[in-house]
Structure 1
Amino acid sequence: MKIIGDYIDYTKIPVIAKIGIFGFWFLASVAFTFFISWQSKKKYTDPLEEIADAARKVAEGDFSVYLRPRHTKDKADCLDVLVQDFNKMVEELGSTETLKMDFFSNVSHEFKTPLSVIYSNAQILQRQEMDEEQKDCVNNITDASRRMSSLIQNMLKLNKLEKQTIIPEVEVYDVCAQLCECAVQFEESWEKKNLELNVEMEERAYIAADPGLMELVWNNLLSNAIKYNREGGSITISETSDDQYVRVSVADTGLGMNENVMKHIFEKFYQGDESHATFGNGLGLALVKRTLELSNASITVESTPDKGSVFTVIMEKAQKTKLERGDENES
């Protein structure tokens, strides 16, 4: 039998030549396959993964995302058009978010003065002689004013954090001492609900952060642990550290959350308790997350419905200060 007419008789081709021809075409096909895969990855897979990653950041609330087109306008392809439309969408979303936060900020400022007047006058009325019904009415006014004032303060703080007008004043300090100070402030609140407070932490642990901003984090986490806890439950504040990180956990035995609630718990104005049985404005944990982002820290949550939640803050451990080294030498 002959190949290509009468020119080549395969029976006369040496075996080594046949193996060589087969090997050549096999290697050529493998090289061609790898080349096509590389080109496909470079031109399509990598850009699409970049767009997907950017979309994920936008979904998490980061509107500073910008994708650079891969080609000039005269050589733009379908992916460049997609990138341009994506950047325009993000810009519009960022503008809308800015307008919303500016609106909240302006409204909050306008509410501050009238609320102060209402609260001050209610406090004056509390000093007067009144019957029980009148006292209840005045107490309701002061409580509502206090809650509205707290909401406004949180909105203003969140607005400043979103615009990054708050510049953290970083210093090295003992976070264990700060945790104890914050917990003591809530003593009256946890005693009212007959809660047991458990504290498990080291003698001292140093971090480099803004003490004022971190106090905001601890106060919000402790407030939530009390607010959403059950009568007679418990709160556990634990702190551990290694050579690199300090971890602080605030655990409660309260309502807990399901998976869907945990996905949105750090979003602004989101409230997991749809029944609104407990007072909240949905800003506390958004403040916590934004504050920790500014402090190069992170937060995680674990929760089981009807069993409780555990919020864990992870921060970088600061290098030992002269004060800490002096304390170790004394001991």
Structure 2
Amino acid sequence: MKKVSKRAKRYITEIQTDSVKTEGHSLRFHFALIIFIILLFAMSLTITATVILYQMRLLRVILGGPFSVIIGVFLLSVCIASALAYYVNNHILRPIVTLSNASKKVAKGDFSVRIDKKTYIEELNTTFDNFNNMVSEISSIETLRNDFVANVSHEFKTPLSAIEGYATLLQDESLCASERNEYIKKIHDNTRLLSDLTGNILLISKLDNQSFTSHKKIFRLDEQIREAILTHEVTWETKGTELEIDLEEINYNGEESLLLQVWMNLIGNALKFTEQNGKISISLKSFQNIAVIKIADDGIGMDNATKKHIFEKFYQGDTSHKGKGNGLGLPLCKRIVNLHRGRIECESEPGKGTVFTVILPL
């Protein structure tokens, strides 16, 4: 296998080398061809001008005989061709070579490449600007991809380590029934966390790639929000949370199952970050052709630095992991709302609570 691997690497290297050589020969050939065409053009232009001036007897006075005229035409043609060749080389061919070399570096994974060379040709300058913008975008995407892989690995590793740890503890035959049940529950909770994480990652991927199959239907939006509230009944009863609910009866045409996740996430977050005996207000109102849903709490709130990143994948403002989560809830909410051509907004201050507003077109 090692021999095959080395041979394959050598073969790939030879192909790349041959490709570079071929490209270099091709560029030199085209440059020579351009110079030849320029020379022909310059000679034709000079000969035409010379014939006209010679017939007007202007050159006869200056140069004298026909032989002197031929030499003059040749020298003038060479001068014009050289000037044109210099211009083409410096302002067209050399920038193209620069672009080609920069593209090779990007192909090898160097996203720090930028082209600063400016020319008198506006189209080339525009091409360079577009190239720089493209490399910046690719660099950003690569950074996001690396961060995504690192975050996914971390989020998977945490519950997997917990499952492994509790499974090891369960092998102890001296455990009492209550301890055994507690460890089994911990394994179940972490397994469910993994399942939710996997489902959210797949759903976000589908929404980002626009590969989600739409199944819109008309349903009662107020009843759906009420269903999401009741799902969290155990939590708000345990914490003694005061709920203020004002839901207008509204029929909505959309993705019922996806929108339910939005309300589940937003209400769950409100409960998670609201202290004992806190207050949460949930309202649904229609204004002309839009539905406005507000979910407000008087919890711990967020500073501006945290608020800027809440819709980024895997970002968690609560670094203590006080509540279970994986930093995918709000990014998922934003994508689902965007899918419905709506928008989601957040207002928050530390110590004063948070208000999430979802606006959906009717």
> With structure 1 as the length reference, what TM-score do the two structures score?
0.62
Q: Which residue of 2 aligns with 1:162?
A: 208
Q: Which residue of 2 aligns with 1:131?
A: 177
Matched, 1:153 2:178: no
Structure-to-structure mapping, 1:31-46, within 5 angstroms:
none
Aligned with 2:320 (options 270, 275, 287)? 275
Q: Do 1:250 and 1:310's aligned partners in 2 also have CA atoms closer than 8 Å? A: yes
* Superimposed CA distance per residue, residues 247-277 of structure 1 (whole angstroms, 9 cap, x where no aligned partner): 0011112111011111111111111112322
For residues 336 and 139 of structure 2, what CA distance do their matches in structure 1 show? 25
Deviation at 1:196, TM superposition (A): 1.7
Q: Do 1:265 and 1:271's aligned partners in 2 also have CA atoms closer than 8 Å? A: yes
Higher helix share: 2
Deviation at 1:307, TM superposition (A): 2.1
Aligned with 2:227 (options 181, 194, 198)? 181
For residues 265 and 156 of structure 1, what CA distance do their matches in structure 2 show? 19
Q: For residues 102 and 265 of structure 1, do their structure 2 counterparts lie closer, same or farther at Cα, with a shift above 3 Å needed?
A: closer
Q: Do 2:279 and 2:297's aligned partners in 1 also have CA atoms closer than 8 Å? A: yes
Q: Which residue of 2 aligns with 1:329?
A: none
What do you get for the CA RMSD once the two structures are aligned? Answer: 3.3
For residues 316 and 144 of structure 2, what CA distance do their matches in structure 1 show? 19
- Letter of the structure 2 residue corresponding to residue 164 of structure 1: Q
Matched, 1:287 2:340: no
Q: Which residue of 2 aligns with 1:211?
A: 256
Matched, 1:83 2:126: no
* Superimposed CA distance per residue, residues 222-245 of structure 1 (whole angstroms, 9 cap, x where no aligned partner): 111111111111221101111111
Q: Which residue of 1 aligns with 2:111?
A: none
Q: Which residue of 2 aligns with 1:245?
A: 290
Q: Do 1:168 and 1:213's aligned partners in 2 also have CA atoms closer than 8 Å? A: no
Greater radius of gyration (CA): 2
For the residue of structure 1 that corresponds to 2:308, the secondary structure is helix
For residues 102 and 156 of structure 1, what CA distance do their matches in structure 2 show? 14
Q: Do 2:296 and 2:355's aligned partners in 1 also have CA atoms closer than 8 Å? A: yes
Q: Do 2:217 and 2:254's aligned partners in 1 also have CA atoms closer than 8 Å? A: yes
* Superimposed CA distance per residue, residues 158-195 of structure 1 (whole angstroms, 9 cap, x where no aligned partner): 12222221133222322111111121111112112121
Q: Do 1:104 and 1:155's aligned partners in 2 also have CA atoms closer than 8 Å? A: no
Matched, 1:230 2:275: yes
Q: Which residue of 2 aligns with 1:6?
A: none
For the residue of structure 2 that corresponds to 1:250, the secondary structure is strand
Aligned with 2:303 (options 258, 263, 268)? 258
For the residue of structure 1 that corresponds to 2:345, the secondary structure is strand
For the residue of structure 2 that corresponds to 1:212, the secondary structure is helix
For residues 151 and 258 of structure 2, what CA distance do their matches in structure 1 show? 21
For residues 308 and 139 of structure 2, what CA distance do their matches in structure 1 show? 25
Q: Which residue of 1 aligns with 2:107?
A: none
* Superimposed CA distance per residue, residues 32-54 of structure 1 (whole angstroms, 9 cap, x where no aligned partner): xxxxxxxxxxxxxxxxxxxxxxx
For residues 150 and 203 of structure 2, what CA distance do their matches in structure 1 show? 14
> With structure 2 as the length reference, what TM-score do the two structures score?
0.57
Q: Do 1:225 and 1:235's aligned partners in 2 also have CA atoms closer than 8 Å? A: yes
For residues 121 and 304 of structure 2, what CA distance do their matches in structure 1 show? 48
Segments of 5+ residues of structure 2 without an aligned counterpart are: 1-119
Q: For residues 269 and 244 of structure 1, do their structure 2 counterparts lie closer, same or farther at Cα, with a shift above 3 Å needed?
A: same
